[in-house]
Structure 1
């Protein structure tokens, strides 16, 4: 098997590993029930629905 020609420094190794993580805004999507913006894969704070089912009871104003 092939071996590396020289040792990678810890900084170079960690920099390479850090580039695989996505840095940016969280995935904000539109709720299919109330059409408010919400975080993806989470219960809507406005209507309390997740995946087409009401999971949190909310008061209607």
Structure 2
């Protein structure tokens, strides 16, 4: 495991963390019970089988 040789300043730590950005999930449009809804791709199967309701 990597171990830092020196303490990192609070400014540098926060600056590094602020560069991280979450990505929006890819949405797929599916038809459930005659309605079109946009759901994340990983949940399409669950909606089609009826495990989740919108």
Shorter chain as normaliser: what TM range? 0.3 to 0.5
Higher strand share: 2
Could you state the TM-score of these two structures normalised by the residue count of structure 1?
0.38
Pick 1 or 2: higher relative contact order, CA cutoff 8 A, min separation 6: 2
Could you state the TM-score of these two structures normalised by the residue count of structure 2?
0.40
- Give the number of the structure whose alpha-carbon radius of gyration is greater: 1
Higher helix share: 2
